[in-house]
Structure 1
Amino acid sequence: MLNFDRVVKSFGPKQVLNELSFAVRPGELYGFCGANGAGKTTAMRIALGVHDADSGVVTIDGRPIDADLRAQIGYMPEERGLYAKMRPIDQLVYLAKLSGVRADEASRRAAEWIERLGVVMSPKDPLEKLSLGNQQKVQLIAALMAEPRVLVLDEPFSGLDPVAVDAMADVLLEQARNGIPVLFSSHQLDLVDRLCDRIGIIRGGRIVAEGTVGELRAKVAGRLLQISLQGAEAGWPESVPGVRRVDDHDGLVSFELSDGTDPDDVLDAVRRLGRIEHFGWRNPSLSDIFREAVTA
């Protein structure tokens, strides 16, 4: 299990992590979500030893992460960290050897992963000749080469087409089925919803919402209304009292109820604005949950 226990980190006067605590269990895909600047990358870098925590501790199976444990973490940074002028297979083998994998075994693993993920390249191409999506695949392979004990991935699906997303998702699901704790951050909430066993939403350097999608959805349920009107004047959603407009899709307008607002009062108000075609509760999406958590 990968565990963050009350981790605090500041850079100068700015506190980035504020007693951050959460755990990623064996065999679990954990989606780490938050707005830009919320502290996701800093937390991951502390686990990897790039930054030191001011206080608190990150552990694997109860043991504080030292150099030996750090070598057992497969890490994929958001910024591509491989060598642009070097052939992908050469650097994959090199990085695996640094982790103690024999050269022949490293070559075998690299070739298998390149084939499995469908990395498109010519044998002599340096990394910089590959498309951004193929570079992203190579970056993931680098994280997998040493058969890590834990996976920590920062925006792994960025820049991938749908076919590549499916291939990478299958790999992460397989790793989790093999008992690996998998922590990944992403702004692609549809993927987080589809893949993750649990989700943690970070704001201001601490977890403000955590659980399965079902558990998180239950906390927001009963607060979102969907309304469709015929014959109403343009701009009618701004005339509805006691609600905040969330979005509008194909004439179906979603509203969040303000605290203390009775939905019957909203119903009475919209009746006066036009003919009601639809009025009902909306099942909250992960985007709704995220918005609620980061703006509360």
Structure 2
Amino acid sequence: MRLVGIHHTHPSGAVALRGADLDVDPAVPTVVRGGNGAGKSTLLRIAAGALAPTAGEVEDVPEVVGYLPDRFPAARKLTPRRWLDHIARVRGVDVDDAADRADELLTELGYDGDDDEPMADLSTGNARKVGLVQALACEPGLLVLDEPWN
């Protein structure tokens, strides 16, 4: 994947990126480093396909990209299973296949949360495990992790 001349201006008018270039080999871990407010999360959202650049090109995008944002969206009222089913539907993946893969991954990661409680009520660790599972369950050709040490 290549990001070429990426610019992004937020609706507020704040410029997040000016002419950023990045070459990513999906088989090689790549770290994007910089200070707070440098545009790292914006660049990762663009790489994951969750945000369109204002200008520039994203080339050679893998068919499936898994993305773990730095924070979960407002849908944290959903239970983990409903969240994972929702993400599978959004991606057009068979829900039963995705559920089987999610169960395997949750077990592997040592998830011990309650499947009937809203994600907002899970421990931080269990919520992050659900987030990682939603990024991995689609068997991505590229995995984008924002703030992976959280």
- Give TM-score, length-normalised by structure 1: 0.46
Name the residue aligned to 1:78: 70
**Where do 5+ consecutive residues of structure 2 fail to align?**
none
Q: Is the 8 A contact 1:120 1:130 kept in 2?
A: no
Relative distance call for 1:93 and 1:26 in structure 2 (3 A) is same
Tell me how far apart the structure 2 counterparts of residues 132 and 3 of structure 1 sit (CA, whole Å).
Answer: 33
Relative distance call for 1:121 and 1:13 in structure 2 (3 A) is closer
Tell me how far apart the structure 2 counterparts of residues 23 and 79 of structure 1 sit (CA, whole Å).
Answer: 25
Relative distance call for 1:49 and 1:131 in structure 2 (3 A) is same
Tell me how far apart the structure 2 counterparts of residues 98 and 34 of structure 1 sit (CA, whole Å).
Answer: 32
Q: Which has the bigger relative contact order, CA under 8 A and spacing at least 6?
A: 2
Tell me how far apart the structure 2 counterparts of residues 97 and 14 of structure 1 sit (CA, whole Å).
Answer: 34
**Structure-to-structure mapping, 1:129-278, within 5 angstroms:** 129-158=121-150
Name the residue aligned to 1:3: 2
If you compute each CA radius of gyration, which structure gives the higher value, 1 or 2? Answer: 1
Q: Secondary structure of the residue that 2:45 maps to in structure 1?
A: helix
- Give TM-score, length-normalised by structure 2: 0.87
Tell me how far apart the structure 1 counterparts of residues 88 and 14 of structure 2 sit (CA, whole Å).
Answer: 37
Deviation per CA, 1:73-92, whole angstroms, max 9, x where unpaired? 11111111263222212221
**Structure-to-structure mapping, 1:45-56, within 5 angstroms:** 45-56=45-56
Tell me how far apart the structure 1 counterparts of residues 111 and 129 of structure 2 sit (CA, whole Å).
Answer: 7
Q: Is the 8 A contact 2:48 2:66 kept in 1?
A: no
Relative distance call for 1:107 and 1:58 in structure 2 (3 A) is same
Relative distance call for 1:104 and 1:157 in structure 2 (3 A) is same
Shift of 1:33: 0.8
- What letter matches 2:78 in structure 1? M
Number of equivalences: 149
* CA root-mean-square deviation: 2.1
Relative distance call for 1:24 and 1:98 in structure 2 (3 A) is same
**Where do 5+ consecutive residues of structure 1 fail to align?**
159-296
Shift of 1:50: 4.1
Higher strand share: 1
